[in-house]
Amino acid sequence: MTNEIKDSIKVRIRDLNLYYGNNHALHNINMDLHKNKITALIGPSGCGKSTFLRCLNRMNDLIRSVKVDGQVIIDEKNIYDKDVDEVAVRKRVGMVFQQPNPFPKSIYENVAYAPLKHGLIKKGHHCDDLVEKSLVQAGLWNEVKDKLKEPGTSLSGGQQQRLCIARTIAVQPDVILMDEPTSALDPISTEKIEALMLELKKKYTIIIVTHNMQQAGRIADYTAFFHLGDLIEYDETETIFINPSEKKTEDYITGRYG
């Protein structure tokens, strides 16, 4: 592999298998995720998209019945190695969920909480600066700068989701995982989040689960199609949508099932 290609890969997934008890939910997944790109994960409900996403920051460790084997190598280090602290992994690999889930705290505290807790900053003007910077990056600052003390939950759904993105950015991750981040939002809020993602990929590597194929087509550089726990096909988005190699992919794309 040339250095240039090697440098453009942020996450390498090798022979990844996941079991929920006896349910073998992910079958030997191999994949290279590109740095500063958006990768979309698509496929019918229950095919393992969320499960796969949670493997990338060890969130599945929180589920008791789960057994994972294989490797998820981020910047040359397998995050499943015994000496890796999973809390540190979740700091580097942030996650945004389907339902906006701000803490029952002020807008300011939603963003400041994790960096203070992790000791990344102290209270005071550094913290104020980080909160502002994160809200600016999340495209929310102008809407909230005069009401930072109000509860996060007082915002609209779309604003809450951008607040959750600001909260994720505030701990300075490298990778951002998003599990159907717009499926609870109206079209205008969805458009804002999509525009934001295109902006954020300049700094972060983004992996998004979406069941909206138009969304994958609009924003993703790469698309991976999953079916029943298998990675069927993974390529540039255009190839997946216009000229897929696998019949299963084509059937899904053309709406034959799903």
Phi/psi at 103 (5° precision):
-65, 155
Task: Note whether 50 binds ligand ADP by CB under 6 A.
Answer: yes
Nearby residues of 203 by Cβ (< 8 Å), 6 or more positions away: 36, 137
Q: Quote the least distance from Cβ 63 to ligand ADP, whole Å.
A: 5
Of residues 22, 13, 29, the one with CA closest to residue 226: 29
List 11, 13, 38, 51, residue binding ligand ADP (CB under 6 A): 51
Contact 216, 237 (CB under 8 A): yes
**Rounded Cα–Cα distance for residues 92 and 135 (Å):** 18
Q: Quote the least distance from Cβ 49 to ligand ADP, whole Å.
A: 3
Which C-beta is closer to ligand ADP: that of 61 or that of 250? 61
**Rounded Cα–Cα distance for residues 77 and 83 (Å):** 10
| Coil, strand or helix at 74 | strand
Which C-beta is closer to Mg ion: that of 35 or that of 211? 211
List 3, 45, 142, 214, residue binding ligand ADP (CB under 6 A): 45
Task: Note whether 161 binds ligand ADP by CB under 6 A.
Answer: no
List 11, 13, 25, 166, residue binding ligand ADP (CB under 6 A): 25
Q: Of all helices (H) and strands (E), which one includes residue 71?
A: strand 66-74
Which C-beta is closer to ligand ADP: that of 21 or that of 238? 21
Which C-beta is closer to Mg ion: that of 50 or that of 249? 50
- How far are the Cα atoms of 38, 132, 166, 177 from residue 157, in angstroms, in the given order? 23, 20, 14, 19
Contact 89, 154 (CB under 8 A): no
Neighbouring CB atoms inside 10 A of 176's CB total: 24
**Rounded Cα–Cα distance for residues 111 and 116 (Å):** 9
Q: Quote the least distance from Cβ 79 to ligand ADP, whole Å.
A: 19
Task: Note whether 51 binds Mg ion by CB under 5 A.
Answer: no
- Longest CA–CA separation in the chain, Å: 57
106 DSSP 8-state letter: B
Task: Note whether 178 binds ligand ADP by CB under 6 A.
Answer: no
Which C-beta is closer to ligand ADP: that of 144 or that of 220? 220
Task: Note whether 210 binds Mg ion by CB under 5 A.
Answer: no
Give the x-and-dash track for 61-100 against ligand ADP (CB under 6 A): --x-------------------------------------
List 39, 40, 50, 218, residue binding Mg ion (CB under 5 A): 50
Q: Which of the choices Mg ion, ligand ADP, none does residue 48 contact, using the CB cut-off of 5 to 8 A by kind?
A: ligand ADP
Q: Quote the least distance from Cβ 42 to ligand ADP, whole Å.
A: 9
In the complex, the residues that contact ligand ADP under the rule CB under 6 A are 20, 23, 25, 43, 45-51, 63
In the complex, the residues that contact Mg ion under the rule CB under 5 A are 50
